[in-house]
Amino acid sequence: MATSDTLQRLEATIAARRNADPDNSYVAKLHARGLNKIAQKLGEEATETVIAALAEDRAALVGEAADLLFHLLVLLGAKDIPLTDVLAELDRREGVSGIAEKAARNS
């Protein structure tokens, strides 16, 4: 079953493929083209995800969201930011955000 482990496995695969032959690896090809290209691809995938959502096309949205997550992991890897740092930030926000929780704390 797909879980957050899926993202961690994909992160490891991306790290392992980074220095592969760009002719045989899309990850290596992206790295060879540099951070600007990786960032540009992430932006394109974000736009395509938004378009699929607004088009009410569920299958396209699932596919574009997968492309978006994949390219986000490539960008994070290129910036040497482990996925666990992002997950930890989300965990931290879980503890401090939420309108009801804030109101309860302030009352």
Ligand X SMILES: N=c1c2ncn([C@@H]3O[C@H](COP(=O)(O)OP(=O)(O)OP(=O)(O)O)[C@@H](O)[C@H]3O)c2ncn1[C@@H]1O[C@H](COP(=O)(O)O)[C@@H](O)[C@H]1O
Binding-site ranges for ligand X (CB under 6 A): 10, 13, 17, 25-28, 41, 67, 70
**Shortest distance, position 18 Cβ to ligand X, whole Å:** 8
**Shortest distance, position 95 Cβ to ligand X, whole Å:** 31
Quote the tokens at residue 68: 């978006």
Quote the tokens at residue 93: 């926000």
The smaller minimum CB distance to ligand X, of residues 13 and 97, is found at: 13
Q: What is the crossing angle of helices 35-54 and 58-78, to 10°?
A: 160
> CA-CA distance, 26 to 20, in Å (whole number)?
9
The smaller minimum CB distance to ligand X, of residues 66 and 86, is found at: 66
